[in-house]
Structures are given as C-alpha cells and as structure tokens.
Amino acid sequence: MLNSSRGWLILLALLVLAGYVEWLLAPTPPAPRALRRAAEPWVLPPIRKAQPEQAMALLNKTSLWGKLPAVEAAKSANDPEWHFLGIATNGSERYVLIKMEGQPEQRLTINDKLPGGSKILKIENDTLCILIDGKKRRLGIYETGPKFL
C-alpha cells in the first residue's frame, strides 16, 4: 500500500488527523494568576537637589581640554596686536607687509621675526609659513572660503 503515491497520501492524511485530534484533546493551560499590587514594597528614590555651586567649582578647577602651559599663556597675553597687509615681490624676493597699531607699516622677509617672536620660514602667494615655539604653522594671509550674509 505504501508503494504507491496514493498510499503515502493516505498516511499523511492520517497523521494530520491524529495531530488535530491530539490538539483538540489537549488540556487548556491554566489561567494566569492575578497580580497583587498592594504587596509591592518598593518606592521611587527621592530626587537629589542640584548643587550648581559645587558643579561650577569642580568645572573651574579642572581643565577639560588639557592644561595650557603657563609660559605660553603669559607670552600670548603680552603679544602686540598686528595684522597682515599683504605680500610684495621684488624679482625673486618676497616680502610680507604688516601693520601694528600706532606704528608705520613694516616690510619683513624670510628669517625675520614677527611681533611676538615668531620666525618667518617661507612666504608663498597667499600663505605664510612661520615657526611658533618650535612648531611650524601655516597662516593664510587673505580671507578664503565662502562668505555668509
């Protein structure tokens, strides 16, 4: 009987019927117990009041971005105020024109010192390479980037 496809189909139908009968005869699961809310002993903890004075004192004591060396901080506070006027060329020589408050314009070239002690390393068309405290920096002389209204 199981040699034909009809026999296999009958066997499959009997297995499905037996599973369905077993499912119908299975006992129903017990109902969930009711929750007792009155027996819950926990409560929310009280909210602590904010103490902004302590928080500000802690923030003032700590340095969030690292400590600024006292030498550099004292030096930068006393630097004279100056700004670039432009770059001038005379053949292969290049000059930087700077202006300090209350003084005439100055013409500086490579290896000269800017006000504040920075040394000029290289002068390009629109940038100036300088040495500040042993670190090379590149400064743009002219304003670049988009202008926002």
| 20 within a domain of the structure (yes/no) | no
**DSSP bridge pairs for 137:** 130
CATH number for position 129: 2.30.30.830
| 19 within a domain of the structure (yes/no) | no
* Range of the structural domain that residue 116 is part of: 79-140
Block means of pLDDT (10 residues each) for the chain, 149 residues, are 83 96 91 76 85 88 72 55 84 88 89 89 88 87 57
Q: Are 68 and 100 in contact (CB under 8 A)?
A: no
Longest dimension (CA), the chain: 116
| 69 within a domain of the structure (yes/no) | no
Question: What is the tens place of the pLDDT at every residue in 13-47?
Answer: 999 999 999 999 999 888 888 877 766 678 888 99
| 116 within a domain of the structure (yes/no) | yes
Is pTM, for the whole model, over 0.75? Answer: no
CB atoms within 10 A of CB 112: 14
What is the total count of domains within the chain? Answer: 1
| 86 within a domain of the structure (yes/no) | yes
Which 3 state secondary structure label does DSSP give 13?
A: helix
